[in-house]
């Protein structure tokens, strides 16, 4: 294991950014989101969640795909090549790290998404363990250990130092490139930090939340036809906020934009909560709000685990609990349909 005094973390970030792009939680207008490091950018260890997750680095909210240009009777088509520049994503917590595993199963398997695949190939994930999980956190319900994120490099803030360990070849390469900035250490300080975080996790309001009543071993039609869906959906505004802050949602739309000189085809995040989601000439296959509400949570808790060896499509980050304007979220669905009183 390696370490660096936490007072020197700005030097660490600058050293990483000197050789490749660096993304980290950046403050803008009082909110934190992942953005590119620039000189003077500092890391705030007290920020538990960015508004949007680190997903946005690998699967941007909007990205160009193809450009079309017509010159008389001639049409030129210019595909936008996937990014092939190495970069590091710093400060990712365990829930967001596990969110990549959910996205990987969608984008890295047939049909492979070239844009996402290229970013995953060139990106190195540098996690930092969350020291103070919040009351809205429930990653443990999905078997996630917040103290062992499993990124390319895992790190823990302990004894006024950042203690780090490489888990992959990419992680080892990154730590080696930092050279004399780092010193060797044992895992004593990291173990103490883990124990403190686990103690906090055990006291959180949602520490006992479980996935009983969901997953691949539950009958699909029985869950699908539960009468409680209508009651649960009745208060939902269909605003889609939950889908935009979620680290595992993968839905997108493909659109064309006429600049006056060319047509730009791009993809942009979409939401299954919208009435025009997947709209076609005949209309939409889920015209009713209750159907759209049910689709979102059935996908997280039933359809996804059915398809991917029991893995759930939620990582318990708690962003939807924090951002939903009427406090209707996946936890309420799990409690209502999972049999909890």
- Per-residue confidence (pLDDT) for residue 340, from 0 to 100: 47
The pairing of strands 2-5 and 183-184 is antiparallel
Shared-domain flag, residues 296 and 170 = no
95-148 confidence digits (pLDDT tens): 999 999 999 999 999 899 999 999 999 999 999 999 889 999 999 999 999 999
One domain, residues 148 and 264: no
Which of 141, 170, 203 delimits the end of a domain?
203
**Average pLDDT for residues 18-25, to the nearest whole number?**
96
pTM of the predicted model, to two decimals? 0.92
pLDDT at residue 128 in the model:
96
**Pairwise CA distance, residues 304 & 298, whole Å:** 8
Same domain, 270 and 143: no
**Per-residue pLDDT, 213:** 93
The reported pLDDT for the residue numbered 304 is 97
Residue 70, in any domain of the structure = no
pLDDT for 339 equals 64
What the block records as the tokens of 69 is 């240009």
pLDDT at 341: 35
Contact between 43 and 162 under an 8 Å Cβ cutoff? The reply is: no
Q: Are 108 and 168 in a shared domain?
A: yes
Termini Cα distance of the chain: 46
Does residue 150 sit in the same domain as residue 271? no
CB 48 within 8 A of CB 197: no
For residue 332, give its domain range.
Answer: 220-337
Count how many domains the chain has.
Answer: 2
Cα distance between residue 252 and residue 250, in whole Å: 7
Residue 30 lies inside a defined structural domain of this protein? yes
Separation between Cα atoms, residue 241 and residue 249, nearest integer Å: 11
Q: How many CB atoms lie within 10 A of CB 279?
A: 12
Say yes or no to pLDDT of 164 above 90: yes
Domain annotation covers residue 256:
yes
How sure is the predictor about 275, in pLDDT bands with cuts at 50, 70 and 90?
Answer: confident
Give the position of tokens 């009983």.
212
Looking at every residue in the chain, the average pLDDT score rounds to: 93
- Domain end point (choices 203, 230, 247): 203
Q: Report how far residue 311's alpha carbon sits from residue 324's, in angstroms, rounded to the nearest whole number.
A: 24
> 17 and 96: one domain?
yes
Decide if pLDDT at 158 tops 70: yes
Q: How confident is the model at residue 9 (pLDDT cuts 50, 70, 90)?
A: very high
Q: Are 290 and 233 in contact (CB under 8 A)?
A: yes
Which segment of 61-75, 158-172, 270-284 scores lowest on mean pLDDT?
Answer: 270-284
Whether residue 264 lies inside any domain: the answer is: yes
Tokens for 336, please give them.
Answer: 């209502």
Does 231 share its domain with 327?
yes
Same structural domain, 56 and 12: yes
Query: Domain boundary at 153, 173, 203, which?
Result: 203
């Amino acid at each position: 294991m390696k370490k660096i005094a936490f007072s020197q973390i700005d030097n660490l970030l600058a050293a990483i950014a000197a050789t490749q792009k660096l993304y980290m939680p950046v403050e803008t207008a009082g909110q934190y989101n992942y953005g590119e490091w620039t000189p003077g950018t500092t890391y705030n260890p007290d920020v538990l969640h960015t508004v949007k997750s680190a997903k946005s680095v690998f699967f941007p909210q909007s990205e160009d795909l193809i450009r079309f240009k017509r010159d008389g009777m001639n049409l030129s088509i210019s595909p936008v090549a996937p990014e092939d520049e190495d970069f590091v994503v710093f400060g990712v917590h365990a829930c967001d790290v596990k969110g990549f595993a959910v996205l990987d199963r969608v984008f890295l398997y047939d049909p492979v998404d070239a844009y996402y695949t290229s970013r995953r190939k060139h990106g190195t994930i540098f996690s930092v363990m969350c020291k103070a999980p919040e009351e809205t956190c429930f990653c443990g319900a999905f078997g996630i250990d917040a103290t062992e994120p499993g990124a390319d490099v895992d790190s823990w803030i302990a004894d006024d130092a950042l203690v780090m360990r490489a888990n992959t070849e990419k992680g080892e390469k990154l730590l080696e490139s930092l050279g004399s900035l780092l010193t060797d250490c044992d895992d004593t300080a990291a173990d103490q930090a883990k124990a403190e975080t686990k103690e906090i996790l055990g006291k959180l309001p949602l520490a006992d939340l479980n996935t009983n009543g969901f997953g691949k071993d539950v009958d699909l039609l029985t869950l699908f036809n539960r009468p409680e869906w209508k009651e649960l959906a009745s208060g939902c505004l269909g605003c889609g906020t939950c889908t935009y802050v979620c680290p595992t949602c993968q839905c997108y739309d493909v659109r064309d934009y006429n600049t006056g000189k060319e047509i730009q085809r791009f993809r942009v995040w979409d939401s299954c909560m919208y009435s025009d989601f997947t709209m076609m000439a005949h209309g939409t296959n889920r015209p009713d709000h209750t159907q759209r509400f049910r689709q979102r949570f059935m996908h997280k808790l039933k359809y996804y685990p059915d398809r991917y060896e029991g893995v759930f499509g939620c990582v318990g980050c708690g962003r939807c609990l924090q951002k939903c304007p009427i406090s209707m979220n996946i936890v309420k669905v799990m409690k209502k349909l999972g049999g909890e009183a």
